[in-house]
Homo-oligomer: A and B are copies of this chain.
Amino acid sequence: MSPESRLSWKDVRDQIHDAILSGRYGPGDRLPRDVDIADELNCARSTVQRAMQALSDSGIVERRRKGGTRVRPDPVTRATLDIPITRREVEQKGGRYGYQLIRRVEAVAPRGVLAACELTEPRTMLRVEALHLSDGRPYIFEDRWICLETVPEIGDVDLTGQNANEWLVQNKPYSRCDLRFYAVSADDSVADLLDAEPGAALFVIERTTWIDAAPITTVKAIATPGYQLLTRS
């Protein structure tokens, strides 16, 4: 009957969010049941449910069956990152993409690689070192280990022209992906490859992917100085 149109779940989300921000509900406090909020705001419970899901996804509240909804006691900043394939990243910045295979050998994986893959038994893997170029200049150096048991086909692929990253993305989808970011000093060989000063601070992205429980690949991508990773706008 009210002339104002119905509430959208985003309205509900914002109202609840505001109530939390204003301090009406502090960290750890329990919010009213969905059904009561729906009643108070005069909307359907499904609308409140949707709003609460959104708040739960952003890490603002925690929801548990029977336990109800609580304001997350330890506030976190939750951010979403998009990491495109390197070719795309270079081209989006207006650069001309290039790729150069440096080394391709089968070798016994060192402990660190096994650990990243969550493997306990040592095994032989395919190691691929390559350089991504932007306008002919070094952009990212990647040191990749590919699990031959999970991806036997990789043995037949010519990686001199074809980028291992892209081949894997297109031919070996993953179901899980772990990422790790840190900084490292350029040693002489990396400095040489990336055309950087030895000792320069470099940004590193380590990514490991699995299909179900089977590791596909783990890669250490070392960027040239000045590289920055931004949150999704």
Contact = CB atoms under 8 A, between A and B. Distances in A.
Interface string A170-202: 000100011111111100000000000001111
A30 to B, nearest CB: 19
Query: Helix, strand, loop or mixed for chain A's interface?
Result: strand
Considering residues A80, A183, A207, which has the most beta carbons from chain B within 10 angstroms of its beta carbon?
A: A183
Contact of A80 (B79, B181, B203, B227): B79
A109 to B, nearest CB: 20
A58 to B, nearest CB: 10
Nearest to A20: B173
Contacts of A169: 75
Using C-beta atoms within 8 Å of the partner chain, give the interface range for chain A: 35 or more
A227 B184 CA distance: 10
Nearest to A207: B77
A44 to B, nearest CB: 13
A5 interface: no
A183 B180 contact: no
A231 B77 contact: no
A40 interface: no
B229 A182 contact: yes
A79 B75 contact: no
B74 A227 contact: no
Given A203-B183, A229-B180, A173 B84 contact: no
11 contacts: A21-B173, A75-B169, A77-B83, A77-B84, A80-B80, A180-B229, A180-B230, A185-B185, A185-B199, A200-B201, A201-B202
Q: What 8 A-B pairs have minimum CB-CB distances, sorted nearest first? A: A183-B183, A201-B201, A21-B173, A183-B201, A77-B83, A183-B203, A179-B231, A185-B201
